[in-house]
Chains A and B, each alone.
Chain A
Amino acid sequence: MKKKGGAKIKKGEISAEEEFYVASQWQLMWRKFKKHKLAIDACIVLVILYLIAIFAGFFAPYDMLKRTLYRDCPPQRIHFFDEEGRFHLLPFVYKMERELDPVTWRPSFTEDKTKKYPIYFLIHGSKYKLWKLFETDIHLFGTKESEGPFLFGTDKMGRDLFSRTVYASRISLSIGLVGVAISFVLGSILGGISGYYGGAADMIIQRVIEIFISMPQIPLWMALASAVPPHWPVIKTYFAITVILSFLGWTGLARVVRGKLISLREEDFIMAAKIAGTTDGRIIVRHLLPSFLSYLMVNLTLSIPWMILGETALSFLGLGIRPPAVSWGTLLKDAQQVSVIALYPWLLIPGIFVIITVLSFNFLGDGLRDAADPYK
Chain B
Amino acid sequence: MWAYTIRRLIYMVVVIWVISILAFIIIELPPGDYLTSYIAQLQSQGGAINEAQIAALKKQYGLGLPAYLRYFKWMQNMFRGNFGRSFKWNEPVLDLLAERLPLTVLISLFTMIFTYTAAIPIGIYSALRQYSIQDYVFTTVGFIGLAVPNFLLALLLMFFFFRYLGWSPGGLFSSQYQIAPWNFAKFADLLKHLPIPIIVIGTGATAGLIRVMRGCLLDELRKQYVITARAKGLKERTLLFKYPVRMALNPMISTIGWILPAIVSGETITAIVLNLPTTGVLLYGALMTQDTYLAGGVILFLTALTVIGTFISDILLVWIDPRIQYERSR
Question: What is the bound-complex CA distance between A247 and B286, given in angstroms?
Answer: 22
Chain A contacts of B283 at CB under 8 A?
A: 219, 222-223
- Among B85-93, B110-118, B229-237, B261-269, the stretch that binds chain A is B261-269
- B258 part of interface (Cβ distance < 8 Å): yes
Chain A contacts of B144 at CB under 8 A?
A: 355, 359
Contact A342 B159 (CB under 8 A): yes
- B277 part of interface (Cβ distance < 8 Å): no
- B190 part of interface (Cβ distance < 8 Å): no
- A75 part of interface (Cβ distance < 8 Å): no
Contact B19 A215 (CB under 8 A): yes
Those of A325-357 within 8 Å (CB) of chain B? 332, 335-336, 338, 341-342, 345, 348, 351, 354-355
Contact A317 B272 (CB under 8 A): yes
- Among B44-52, B67-75, B150-158, B243-251, the stretch that binds chain A is B150-158
Contact B261 A216 (CB under 8 A): yes
Main DSSP-derived SS at the A contact region? helix
Tell which of B22, B261, B295 has the most Cβ of chain A within 10 Å.
B261
Looking at the complex, which one of B18, B151, B269 makes contact with A211 (CB distance below 8 Å)?
B18
Looking at the complex, which one of B14, B152, B257, B298 makes contact with A332 (CB distance below 8 Å)?
B152
Chain A contacts of B143 at CB under 8 A?
A: 359, 362-363
- A224 part of interface (Cβ distance < 8 Å): yes
Contact A214 B268 (CB under 8 A): no
Per-residue CB contact flags for chain B residues 137-168 toward chain A (1 = under 8 Å, else 0) read 00000011011111110011011001100001
Looking at the complex, which one of A214, A219, A342, A351 makes contact with B299 (CB distance below 8 Å)?
A219
Contact B298 A219 (CB under 8 A): yes
Chain B contacts of A345 at CB under 8 A?
A: 159
Looking at the complex, which one of B261, B287, B298 makes contact with A214 (CB distance below 8 Å)?
B261
Question: What is the bound-complex CA distance between A207 and B30, given in angstroms?
Answer: 28
Chain B contacts of A319 at CB under 8 A?
A: 287
Please report the total number of A residues contacting B with Cβ < 8 Å: 40
Chain B contacts of A211 at CB under 8 A?
A: 15, 18-19
Looking at the complex, which one of A207, A226, A316, A348 makes contact with B288 (CB distance below 8 Å)?
A226
- A213 part of interface (Cβ distance < 8 Å): yes
Contact A229 B31 (CB under 8 A): yes
- B303 part of interface (Cβ distance < 8 Å): yes
Contact A216 B264, CB 8 Å, known A222-B283, A317-B272: yes
Question: What is the bound-complex CA distance between A213 and B19, given in angstroms?
Answer: 12
Contact B295 A223 (CB under 8 A): yes
Those of A30-64 within 8 Å (CB) of chain B? none
Beyond A216-B262, A219-B265, 10 additional pairs, beta carbon < 8 A: A218-B268, A224-B26, A226-B288, A317-B284, A335-B155, A338-B162, A338-B170, A341-B155, A355-B148, A359-B143
CB pairs A–B below 8 angstroms (24 shown): A210-B15, A213-B257, A214-B257, A214-B261, A215-B307, A216-B264, A216-B265, A218-B265, A220-B22, A222-B287, A223-B26, A224-B29, A226-B287, A313-B149, A316-B151, A317-B272, A332-B151, A335-B155, A341-B155, A342-B163, A348-B152, A354-B149, A359-B144, A359-B147
- The 6 tightest CB contacts between A and B, nearest first, are A227-B29, A226-B287, A216-B265, A216-B264, A358-B147, A218-B265
